[in-house]
Amino acid sequence: MKIDWNKKYTTISVYSFLVICASMIFFSVIGEISAFTAKIGWLVSTLQPFIIGFVMAYLLNFILVFYEEKVLVFDSIKSLKKKSKRGISILLTYITAILIIGLFMQFVLPQLMDSIVGLVNDIPTYVADATKLIEELTGNLDANNEYVGMAMEKWNEIVTYTINIITNVLPILGNTLKVVASSVWNIVLGLIVSIYLLIDKEKFCALSRKITYALFNEKNAQIVIGLTHRTNDTFGKFLSGKIIDSAIIGVLTFIILTVFKMPYTILISVIIGITNIIPFFGPFFGAIPSFVIIMFVSPIKALWFLLIILIIQQIDGNIIGPKILGDSIGISAFWILFALLVAGKVCGLVGMIIGVPLFAVIYSVIKDIVEAKLRKKGLPTETDDYKQNARD
């Protein structure tokens, strides 16, 4: 018997059956979530070299593009075959990456470790001095014993929290190095995979487009490819721009803090540089622990540090950032905060870094869908046009 798919009740029945099947699969996965998570973990572990290789290739691609389009443009190179030029560019890209890592390991890492160890050893002395100072101030002010007790209790809580954070830094670094060391083989394989990806990146992109056109009709395939280009453009500009911007801010912070003879200059510069990768609120995340660290040594210098960071962030927000990043995010501060909180809760630090560009892509897709529906109805697409209607 031939099914008439155009009939209303037949369509409803098929959709209902599909919804029931999807619901059964969903509840089966929820009921066996531990086994499902274990399978996902096994799959990720198996594909780890390819994941590492893809991340390496994606991050190094902007260096490769820089060499191909900006550096290797003289006549003797232009006459070479495309594969030869790509080979030279890849060689220069990896030499650059190895040089940067080598310089960090040679000059920054030893001083960073010394700063962390010195800070951990000096914390008890700083805490004792600060506690004694607070007790003297409260004694001189002749404050109510109840208020003094509450202040001291809160101070002890802050001290305990700070000590726990700082004393856990070394174990965290140790565990990180242990994980990296245990993944050396996967990193080596990932390096090889990244080289192959960069060599034939156009071929892999063409293969992806071929598969997309095979799976979807032409209109939907173009939508998928357009969304892929938008995602790549948003993530590429954001990640590459943020890395360069954060490196500049880290070096600038180091120079200024050295001039002002601040304590733990390397450690604080690294904190400021790394947290600056987090959009919008990153400077605050880096400035707070840095302020606490300097305050243990000198409260006056800590106040000067806040002023210095404020000036640096103004320079970054108004001059350096716009020059490097442009408007690569394209969403308001409210949505940035929303993306940071949600992605940070789900994926931690990695989520806080990639959550904003990911949400920016989702936001742009929803915006396009909403505006397309409004245009079909002959309605304006600008949000400002609806402010008066909202009051009415």
Shortest CA distance to 114 belongs to which of 255, 287, 265? 265
> What pTM does this model have?
0.70
- Tell me if 302 is assigned to some domain: no
pLDDT of residue 382: 77
pLDDT tens for 6-42 read 566 666 777 778 888 888 777 776 666 666 667 777 7
CB-based contacts of 328, cutoff 8 Å, min separation 6: 234, 237, 238, 241, 357
In whole angstroms, how far apart are CA 131 and each of 128, 252, 263, 288, 292? 5, 34, 20, 20, 14
CB-based contacts of 68, cutoff 8 Å, min separation 6: 85, 86, 89
- Tell me if 376 is assigned to some domain: yes
DSSP 284-341: HHHHHHHHHHHHHH-HHHHHHHHHHHHHHHHHIIIIIHHHHHSSSS-S-HHHHHHHHH
* pLDDT band at residue 368 under the 50/70/90 scheme: confident
pLDDT of residue 307: 92
Shortest CA distance to 261 belongs to which of 290, 323, 225, 304? 304
pLDDT tens for 47-72 read 888 988 998 999 899 889 888 888 87
pLDDT of residue 44: 77
CB-based contacts of 134, cutoff 8 Å, min separation 6: 151, 152, 155
d(CA 228, CA 213): 13
Q: What percent of the chain has pLDDT over 70?
A: 76
pLDDT, greater one: 173 or 342: 342
Residues in the chain: 392
CB-based contacts of 78, cutoff 8 Å, min separation 6: none
Angle 8-31/33-46 helices, nearest 10 degrees? Answer: 80
- Tell me if 69 is assigned to some domain: no
Instruction: Tell me which residue range forms the domain holding 361.
Output: 329-382
In SS3 terms, 337-375 reads as HHHHHHHHHHHHHHHHHHHHHHHHHHHHHHHHHHHHHHH
CB-based contacts of 102, cutoff 8 Å, min separation 6: none
pLDDT of residue 99: 93
- Tell me if 335 is assigned to some domain: yes
| DSSP three-state, residue 165 | helix
User: Within the chain, how many helices (H) and strands (E) appear?
Assistant: 17, 0
- Tell me if 61 is assigned to some domain: no
Mean pLDDT, rounded, for 82-98:
89
Q: What type of residue is 82?
A: K
Q: What type of residue is 59?
A: L
- Tell me if 353 is assigned to some domain: yes
Phi, psi (5° rounding) for residue 22?
Answer: -65, -40
d(CA 322, CA 328): 9
pLDDT tens for 104-148 read 888 777 877 777 777 767 777 776 776 676 666 666 655 555 666
pLDDT tens for 298-323 read 888 889 999 999 898 888 877 887 77
Task: Look at the chain and report how many structural domains it folds into.
Answer: 1
- Tell me if 337 is assigned to some domain: yes
- Tell me if 265 is assigned to some domain: no
Average of per-residue pLDDT values in the chain: 79
pLDDT, greater one: 170 or 67: 67
Q: What type of residue is 144?
A: N
